Amino acid sequence: MINRTRGVAALLGLAFATAGLAALAQPSAGPQTGIVFRNTVTGETLDIGQGKEGGRDTDAVKTFLQTGKNPYIDDKSCLRNGESLFATSCSGCHGHLAEGKLGPGLNDNYWTYPANTEDTGLFATIFGGANGMMGPHNENLNPDEILQVVTWIRHLYTGPVRDAVWLNDEQKKTYKPYKEGETFPKDVKGQCKPLDN
């Protein structure tokens, strides 16, 4: 009988110990993002909550903030939006095809900041800015819109497909770069709703 009681006590003890460990392993309260985004130049942590409202609770942004994977890559509805957002916010300095103008080209495999090879790095540069004329864009683009711009910049890429680390092997096989004159109908189906304007 004594043995049995001890056994139960030991089991209970184990259960408490495990529960304790699980409690310790839980992240503290507050919004959690899987990925810590940093300013491209200073390395300071970026607060993704700051800036233009909205665009933080879409499935794509949630996935991106957790995993760094961009679910919009190759989605025509997001390319359509990204093209328009890029034309308004970026092409004046970076060129219509991101070929470079006042700012550097964004359509080849050379990056001043190698972190921009990854979609997470490109997102951080757009959100938090870089040097000089490249200011932060989080006041005029919300995270979902930034992800659409990232998607469009990747679509303008003209470098070797093997260096396109933002595509998985399957996507590399079917990757079709931008062609001049290509258009996306307003009602094209996909994850991105047409922009308001």
In this chain, which stretch among 56-64, 69-77, 132-140, 156-164 interacts with ligand HEC, using CB under 6 A?
132-140
Taken in order 96, 77, 72, 55, the sign of the CA dihedral is positive
Applying CB under 6 A, the span of 51-59, 122-130, 178-186, 187-195 interacting with ligand HEC comes to 122-130
User: Least distance from C-beta 55 to ligand HEC, angstroms?
Assistant: 14
CA pair distance 137, 55, nearest whole angstrom: 14
CB of 60 to ligand HEC, least distance (A): 17
Closest approach, Cβ 132 to ligand HEC, in A, equals 5
* Contacting residue, 95, 103, 128, 143, with ligand HEC by CB under 6 A: 103
One of 124, 126, 156, 192 touching ligand HEC (CB under 6 A): 126
Closest to ligand HEC by CB, 58 or 125? 125
Among residues 49, 54, 92, 159, the one that binds ligand HEC under rule CB under 6 A? 92
Cβ neighbours for 87, distance < 8 A, ≥ 6 positions apart: 96
- The pairs formed by 30-34 with CB atoms below 8 angstroms and a separation of 24 or more are 33/65, 33/66, 34/65, 34/66, 34/67, 34/68
User: How far is the C-alpha of 139 from the C-alpha of 128, rounded, in Å?
Assistant: 10
Cα 155 from Cα 108, distance rounded (Å): 11
Among 58, 107, 125, 138, the residue binding ligand HEC under the rule CB under 6 A is: 125
Residue 102 binds ligand HEC, judged by CB under 6 A? yes
Q: Is 155 annotated as contributing to ligand binding?
A: no
Q: Which amino acid is at 73?
A: I
90 binds ligand HEC, rule: CB under 6 A: yes
The type of residue at 127 is: F
Could you write out the DSSP letters of every residue in 119-181?
HHHHHHHHHH--STT----TTTS-HHHHHHHHHHHHHT--S-GGG-TTS-HHHHHH-----TT
Q: Which of 70, 84, 116, 148 binds ligand HEC (CB under 6 A)?
A: 116
Q: Hey, which residues between 134 and 173 contact ligand HEC (CB under 6 A)? A: 134, 137, 149
Chain positions contacting ligand HEC, by CB under 6 A: 89-90, 92-94, 102-104, 106, 111-113, 116, 122, 125-126, 130-134, 137, 149
